[in-house]
A and B are shown apart, each in its own frame.
Chain A
Amino acid sequence: MCSVCGCGQGEIEGHDHTHSHEHPHGEPHYHEHLGGLHYGLGPAHAHAPGLSQERMVRIEQDILGKNNTYAADNRRYFAEHGLFAVNLVSSPGSGKTTLLVKTIALLKDKLPVAVVEGDQQTSMDADRIRASGAAAVQVNTGKGCHLDAHMVGHALEHLNLANDGLLMIENVGNLVCPSAFDLGEAHKVVILSVTEGEDKPLKYPDMFHAADVMLLNKIDLLPYLAFDVDQCVEYAHRINPKLEVLKVSATTGEGMERWLAWLTEGVDVATAARQQNVNLLKKRIAELEVQLAAKG
């Protein structure tokens, strides 16, 4: 099983794993090491005392170092293509997919929108997204509880993303594990619905600490619930004083304007940065051509 690339354990839609595909990041496939995993057949401690030829090997490597390398690759890809990538995280049932569908409906005529859908099983969510008019690829993590940067890197190969747009990565519904895995996104956005407890930021602090924005979703239901919005926001700020809070209802559209404005601004910044980079490269090319001409 492999939770690093999702192959074997998870799968990417339309991604055939019976062939030995080339690895885009230049790394051998992790699950190949584990292909011959034989439980209970490992060597026993049999060497005689005093005959040990043990030596120490210094490693000093971050356990998440590999994921972070893939994340850096993804981040570079996003920058080169002027993409604003957001990683949407929440518990299951917070309304992530409905929010995505609504967001796409409101944005798709203004800018390119694409989605990476993470779930343990099924392509139901990607089907819903495609029906709303955006390009989507489903990543099934199998037993995995989160998306990692390697899976997202694979997914990008299947999306043919247009430059200067929005990429929304819908993570597996889980408020714990996805917090530790950088996917290369610009921001993590945590979605909390008011049908959950207002104390979730305290119960699952890692996620609220890792996020830059909290969407408080389903606010149309507030009249029917005992959910204390101010208390929830106070708890969230206790964990993360810089967390920006947006109150929305994907169903009624209430509060969606601010969310869309935040996304659009992100795309504008990513687009401008790419344009600036292109201009710098053009300038550099022109300088080099002048140098070449002088030599010729």
Chain B
Amino acid sequence: MRVFISLILCLVALQSEAQFHDWSMWRFDHGRSASTPEQLADNLHLQWQVQYSPRIPVWDDPLNQNLMQFDRLFEPIVADNKIFLGFNDQDKVIALDINSGKELWQYYTDGPVRMPLAANNGNIYFTSDDGNLYCLNADNGSLTWKLSLAPAPNKLLGNKRLISMWPARGGIVIKDDIIYTAASIFPMMGTFIYAINAETGEIVWKNEGTGSNYILQPHRSPAFADVAPQGSFAISGDRLLVAGGRSVPAAFDLKTGEQLYYHLSASGKTGGAFSCGNDEVFFNHHRERVTYMYDSQTGLPLLEDAGEYPVLDGNTIYFSGTKVEASELDVEKNLNKLWDSNVSATNDLIKAGDCLYAADSSGITAIKIVDNEPQELWTHKTEEPIERLVASNGKLIAVTGDGEILVFGDTPVSEVSLQKQPDSKIACLSLFGKRIIRKTDITSGYGVVLGTQNIRLLKKLVSKTSLSLIAFDDDPERISYLREYFDDLGVKADRLSFQNFDETASFLPKYFSSLTVITDPSYLKDNDPDLLNAIFESTRPYDGKIWVKARGKAKGSLMNTVADLDLYGAQLSKSWRHVLISRTGALEGASDWTHNYGDIANTVKSDDEIVKAPLGILWFGGNSNMDVLPRHGHGPSEQVIDGRLIIQGINSITARDVYTGRMIWQKEFENLDEDTWLVYYDETYDEENPLDTKYNQVHLPGANARGTNYIATKEYVYVIEGTNCHLLDIKTGELVKSISTGDVNTEKLGYIGVYDSLLILGNNFSKFYNPDTLEESKKQKFNNFDITASKELIIMDRFTGDELWNIKANHGFIHNAVIAGDGKLFCLDKLPQNLETKLKRRGESQPSGSRMLYLNIKTGEKLHEETSNIFGSWLGYSSEYQLLIQANRPSRDMLTGEEGKRMIVYNLKSNEILWDKPVYYSNPPIISGDKIYTSEEGFSLLTGEELYEKDLITGEDLKWNFKREYGCGYIVASEHLLTFRSASAGFVNLNASEGTASLGGFKSGCTANLIVANGVLNSPDYTRTCQCAYQNQTSLALVNMPWMTYWGNSNYKWNGTQIKQLGLNLNAPGDRTSDQSTLWLEFPNVAGESTGIPVKIDTVNYYEIRKEPISINSENTPWISASSIGGIRSLEITLSKEPTVEDAFYSVNLYFSEPEKMKKGERVFDVSIQDMKVLENFDIIGEAGSEDKELVKSFPGIKAGRTLTIDMIPRKGNTMLSGIELIRESSPLTQNQ
């Protein structure tokens, strides 16, 4: 009988288990339906719970946190009676027994696990910010296989962690045993979208060709930036929906990986990482939890505000929210309401069997659907709001926002077990650690430890500093041990993480480590110079330190090697047990950026020589735009000096680390907001509703009109607040001193500038308006001239505040025209330009007293005074040429009347006008050597003539210009670049003629915030209040990465004269110029307007393949061989449209690489140029030896006149060609038409 009963019980158990369904991925299935067929018991009882710490979401701002919610909570999945959780703070995945909560295993990764996991056939899959896709055995957590989704092992600081340059944030979706995922969130770095065989880890397809597509960004303006995969992917019918982070997803063909659509621009201000769908439609995040419904076939919106995050059960859609609402999707894709229930599901809603489970701030409610009507079954109240529900394997799993997991089952338990994680307590005695801290005095920032034998040292550094430490060891087992050891101690990975040591040091980004401790000199591999160089390069400039434990001969040897390396800025010291290498001062060739326009001379140019194209990301994330002024108010640009980036908020000044983005200090003021009010922001800024799409700040001239109100120097940040100028310690932000004018009539300080040891303050703003009409004029935001000039300038000792001299204005010293250089103060004392123009329009005489002054800046002695030709609102000074520019200050959102129509350049040596010309310009004039750059064009500083360059294709003279797309900031310069917003962030490479290039994947500010200084291109997020769906909204910094790729829109127009040199880059996204000065134009034309060079192409079975250049093995030009066209039979390039054409001899270089998985002999073809066979039975793979390896075949002496023709004849397979380069060899030979 007992056996029989046991058998019956077993059968019952088996039967019920047979009805179990795994919740094998986020929201149950590949459609993210949140609907499982599994029927839970009618009554559920809390059985166990486990308390972890609250999750800290990856992004920093309220909008980002709403649009991308993927790691704000634990997102459990369930398979085979186990719950699996990923940790974004401990870089691990764990398995819990679903019945007891007992932890079964844990697996650590090299980076945060931010995206939900997935299970399939006994395996667990997940991605990590380390760039990898992991496959673990679900039973024991052992690694089955691991695939790098990133193209290289390089690391950067991303969201405050050391992660892959291509973090894998494509949230896994699995269908038919195929995994879909992706790596990289910045298109400029290349994006990599994959379909992968779940069992073997083999790649089914890989799309790496879309990231650089030239597409319309928000504001309907193009840039090289396509979808940036971030968020959980979903599948709708035959479409893979690739979450675009902040945008509506892109769709890719599930079978081939071909991109089908991405409506970035058309989607406007809607979109987010959440998507779910059935075969016909999908729902995507809008704001809060509201979704829009889209047609999966087209990606076009069907219904706005469709409802809050829905549950999909076929065509029955249950919307969450303050009440649960059921609708039916009909064949016309209309939603027809079925019923609603007053049950609150404001936090989550799922369906299991015939029950809906709703979560809100008070707990969980079960709703049974009987005869298509909702019936409330039960409610379970909880102390903490339930944010996520999962139903699987007979359990209901609830997740709270504070990191708790609660598990409900069908039977009550006598005692609900509660497991808690230990609090972090790690006090430890370490004399070694104590000495390092005392000697280096470094207790904050990022740190590196090479060699982990000294656990006490690690504990000491964690407990006695706030350093974020990354410890490296070459023993994987020790790393595993230490990860678990410190995890058990409650030390989060953002304080101490462990990584494998790699002798190439590719794991170390530049400049990021404030303190590097090498506990075991063997890690220096016998003082390997390359390794030492890499470690030094990874050390933060401005006193980053490397502490090497060394004794005796080893110490001397290390000292000698480092000395021989002649590392710039390195200072060596030693004691009997260590060598200390300090990286002092600035980087070689670096420069600061102070004042609003780079310096007090208004050059609008950084002298930084380090930053040049190509650029890659050094760090991103980790600070918030909530500390920055609203973007459309055009607050002052950031200032960058000695490794600190100083930026202003509404009522604060913040210092950030240039090399990591870390906040160094923040100073809140009492009344700074009274100064910034109506100047840098106004009543249109609605601080309370950052998620409202109408959250905005109207455009104001801001600092374009007023100038800056703070100056950063090596010692202090000088900040105007009312009648005081505060001196903040640049290192700490502490108030050191406040300077006032001593004038009882001072109401406000206006101008501020610093020159050497002098502080120049504007005493009171000029009043150009009758006080009776002042209010009216202030409402006219672009006519508020009273903030643009000061009544008096007071020159002080900037350290003591002692006044040295002053000068009163006849009208007003225009702030944008108070500058200094070579011991002189230059200033314009006049009416604002618009008022002068108004007087002229009305036939009234200009008031007397308008003048331009050159003054001895130390004494106030008047050196020169100009009273004629006084116009404009801008002065700029070239110390190199001793030339002074008088101009207007035009830009978008400028003051009324500041159009640039005239420019005068004065020769300071003779005090005479060098040139005076009616020139049109729309940017503050940038002084760069002997050139003036304005928007899209340039002039000679010495003559005022337009700039010309050599037309790289014809060799003729060509007016220098570039095309800038939408962006309301102005252009600034550095030695090698012009930087500005052009749809996305953009730049012009001054060393090449390739037009406007994109830094695709983020939007730069409306204030000019792409500032080159201190060796990096700084881009603090100056987009506060922006709601547009740009791929990323974050601060970041970029540095020169020679191997990185970028694309430009050269905007080239051929004039028809004979071509001397040309590159056709087949299927490339845009234009580039090679080191050999060949302008490579993309063919077919996809970016910008056609060049007008006729190219005829005949093809059979035409197809295009594009990869990221980083995937190509090439010394110099992977960006040519990364894309190809297959199926070419003949290609004819017109070389001249002139009536008389002369034959010439050309060298023709053909670029190949094998982009497909081909074996030798599978693709063979002949190539003829001008009917002369140049390649016979050509086999790319046969010659190159491997896939994706560049092969260049050169053919000199090709004679051509009006056209040049290349024929390709397949012998086996199809033809394939990447690029064609023509270089004329000789003088042309005359040929009649």
A binds B: no
